[in-house]
Amino acid sequence: MAESTKSVAKSISVLGIAGILCKLVGVFFSILLNRISKDVAADFYLVYPTYTLLLTISSAGLPVAVSRMVAGFLARNDPRNAKSTFRAALLMLSTIGAFFSLLMVLLNRVLVDMVNVEEVSLGFYAIAPCVMIVCVLSAFRGLIQGQQNMVPTAVSQLIEQVGKVALSLPLAAIGLQKSVAAGAAGALFGITLAETLALIYMVVRHHLKKQELERLPQDPEAASMQSSRLMSRLVLISIPITVSACIIPLSQVIDSAMMIRRMLLAGLSAAEAKTAYGIFTSIVIRLINIPTALALAISMSLVPAISACRSRNDQPAVRHETNNGMRYAFLIGFPCSVGMSLLSKQIVYFLYGDVRDFTAAHLQLASELLTFSAMTVVLFTAVQATSSILQGLRKQRIPMYTMIAGVLAKIVLNYILIGTPGIDIHGGPYASIACYFIVMTANLFFICRYTEMRMNWMGWIVRPGLAAAVMGAAVWGLTRVFPMGSITTILEVLAGVVVYLLAAFAVKALSKDDLRAMMRRKGAA
């Protein structure tokens, strides 16, 4: 296995493990927030998509551009321009973040009217500073990821999540003593504080480790680039990436404004519609986001790796990294989708069964939605991998266009299905599946075209799919033999993992080299 592939595999494992832990903490946070108050949680998740959208607009593209440019410069033995790239990006992200934080404050009334819930006004104020904080944080992450060291990013993500639980939940409980609106604002302000702690860690780590970059050999023939030129390159790279990354959060904002209204037309009462939306966003989407952390790990690892290969004009290495990136995507995505779908009811009851405000009908609805929503995991994982490969190939506009097409289809299907009596909220998962399938298919076409490689049906689809099918059969059999309960759910999940690994080795979807690469030591926090 090539050294670069070992690096990518290790990066995926580091970020993947951290990402899974972060998502589990996020689910734990959601459960506890719902236990504090279901109304506080509902208001929290009405504000959060708008914050995510503004954050994505301000900071999604530039960190990817930084990691790509830094990786390219370091591949050509030019750390001087790598450091200049970081300084230029830090200035840009600080300025942009401050602008969007201010914008969130000034447009508070507009944002409140958009979600049509008066009580969330204070929540928008509470989380507004977080946009600037995360923008600055993302500049440091981009620099370190460009060096293909993912450990500091993983540590900062854990600080964010643990800090959120330690700070947001107490502040939510304190605020609830005054009102539901104050409780939601307290939870949102806790996120701002947690992100501040993560930023402090990254700044301190950068100052302690910056000598490592200083000691790298410098090519004396490499010309020093002016800040204005570096900024121009960063902007040209980041704009299509930002637009692409904004599309999903934008669709979530549209969903938050549209779904309740469409459910009213489908015959649900206002209370039923708000409850169904809250279940879909705070339970189902939260659970779906756990395995998608692995997709984001693949994404962050592939961009600098492929960019470095391309900077060296090493086309065989580009194809090798592409093949392995897609193989890892489906190897991870298939079992997550199949397992979560088959165990949807068990997972929901295990995590939320004793939450006071959730009735049996609420849990049943969450289980039904999760059964179908789980199928988006493998598609989303493939979309993240394909988008990152295209970005590494400097074809960042393509995933932007394909994502626009997919999300337009999602919005249309949501509008039609959710407003249809008898379907209502159940239309959400179907629309998401259609969205990601469209994007994945189009991205795969362009990857094969620009890397001059054929679709590896056996390595990407057939082998991991077959292993996931074997796992699915085993898990389904266990659910028919054992009664539903906390212990049996844990045993079924563990059995699924073991069966999948054995089946993956048996059908040669997974090799010993893959495991060695993932366990290989690299980098320090």
Residue 38: its pLDDT value, please? 77
Joined tokens for residue 380:
């989303």
Q: How far apart are CA 398 and CA 443, in angstroms?
A: 7
- Percentage above 90 pLDDT, the chain: 27
> What average pLDDT score do residues 137-162 get?
84
**Does residue 443 lie in a domain region?**
yes
Number of domains comprising the chain: 1
Q: How far apart are CA 165 and CA 163, in angstroms?
A: 5
Residue pLDDT, tens place only, 429-446: 899 899 999 999 999 999
Q: How far apart are CA 71 and CA 55, in angstroms?
A: 24
Joined tokens for residue 41:
């949680």
Half-sphere exposure in the Cβ direction for 362 (13 Å, CA)? 24
**Does residue 37 lie in a domain region?**
yes
- Residue 523 per-residue DSSP state: -
Q: How far apart are CA 177 and CA 485, in angstroms?
A: 35
Burial annotation 400-435 (CB, 10 A radius, 16+ → b, else e): bebbeebbebbbebbbebbbeeeebbbbbbbbbbbb
Residue 15: its pLDDT value, please? 59
**Does residue 491 lie in a domain region?**
yes
Residue pLDDT, tens place only, 330-349: 988 999 999 999 999 999 98
**Does residue 525 lie in a domain region?**
no
Q: How far apart are CA 346 and CA 369, in angstroms?
A: 13
Residue 510: its pLDDT value, please? 82
> What average pLDDT score do residues 174-203 get?
92
**Does residue 420 lie in a domain region?**
yes
Which residue range forms the structural domain that includes residue 343? 3-219+228-519
Joined tokens for residue 456:
């590896």
